[in-house]
Amino acid sequence: MNKKYRKTVIAGNWKMNMTASDVREFMSRLSAATPDNKTCDAVLCVPFPLIPALIKPAKQARLGIGAQNVSEYGKGAYTGEVNAEMLSDLGVKYAIAGHSERRQFFSEDDAAVNRKTLNLLDHGITPIICVGESGLQRDRGLTMEHIAYQVKSALYAVTEDKARRCIIAYEPIWAIGTGNTATTAQAQEVCEYIRSVARQMYGARIARSMSILYGGSMNAQNAAELLSMPDIDGGLIGGASLDPGAFARIIADAGQELTRETSSNLL
Ligand code: PGA
């Protein structure tokens, strides 16, 4: 984290879990366990039908509401889709684009991730753009190439003033839902690299202000160490965000002071 230059963001991703009826109980347990003076932006990305139930408790808890997906299209004849305007009208402030599960199961490609990103930004919603390599790509030494391609594709035609509002989440596919968290060194290395790609595209000032998250088996036990790295500005948390106590603990860890310094602080 580097709170001097950018926001720390802790975003939960409930995936296809929970129901609207579960929201109230979850939120009261989360609020009871969360420190009053939280110094990060806490967000919950929930399935679309749960959003209305989250509006009131999220406001009380100063928690941002996020969606897990958005249509790449605007309004029109796209049966079953939900567009950025609809989300923004409900008060949604964040939306995930390009999660690896959507890339894998729903054929979401880089061009679609780019269109989603542009649509979200046009409606004032912060995109949380997910990038990450497979185990095979890592083994073959293709991680950085793959990450650079995904970041550049997602941000294609995103202007400077909008790029500063984007969040990138580094989620190695081999670490998601597996319990195999990336080491702090692996996660920092790629997050620092993502910032360098953003620097090439937009210059040092914008790259320095972008929040870059880590995701992939982040939990209450390993969050503090990951968040102590200078280029890891928060987390995208799946499994552990379903447990209000664990999620609150990670939010509390995001309030800690930066303990490690590297040259990237001087960006
Ligand atoms: P996980 O999921 O924390 O359960 O690994 C992270 C994600 O998919 O965003």
Ligand 1 atom with the smallest distance to the CA of 215 is 6
Q: Is 229 a residue whose pLDDT tops 90?
A: yes
Q: Is the CB of 238 under 6 A from ligand 1?
A: yes
72 is catalytic: no
Distance 110 CA to ligand 1 centre (A): 20
pTM for the model stands at 0.94
pLDDT at 267 over 80: no
For 36-81, write each residue's pLDDT tens digit.
767 899 999 999 999 999 999 999 999 999 999 999 999 999 999 9
- Closest Cα partner for 229 from 218, 240, 214? 214
CB 95 within 8 A of CB 70: yes
Contact 223 CB / ligand 1 (< 6 Å): no
222 CB near ligand 1 (under 6 Å): no
Catalytic-labelled residue, pool 72, 99, 101, 192: 99
pLDDT tens sequence across 165-212:
999 999 999 999 898 888 999 999 999 999 999 999 999 999 999 999
Distance from residue 219's CA to the centre of ligand 1 (Å): 9
Position 264 scores a pLDDT of 45
Question: So what's the pLDDT on residue 4?
Answer: 87
Q: Which residue from 218, 166, 219 is spatially nearest to 187, judged by alpha carbons? A: 218
pLDDT at 255: 85
Distances 98 to 1, 126, 143, 251 between C-alpha atoms, Å: 23, 13, 17, 24
Query: 3-state class of 136 per DSSP?
Result: helix
Catalytic residue among 72, 101, 108, 171: 171
Q: Is the CB of 66 under 6 A from ligand 1?
A: no
The answer to whether 99 is a known catalytic residue is: yes
Mean pLDDT of the chain: 94
Name the 3-class secondary structure at 17.
Answer: coil
Atom of ligand 1 nearest to the CA of 13: 9
pLDDT exceeds cutoff 90 at 2: no
The confidence score (pLDDT) of residue 208 equals: 96
Indicate the pairing of strand 64-67 with strand 41-46: parallel
pLDDT at 18 over 90: yes
- C-alpha distances out from residue 101 to 63, 175, 232, 247, Å: 25, 12, 22, 21
Residue 116 reports pLDDT greater than 60: yes
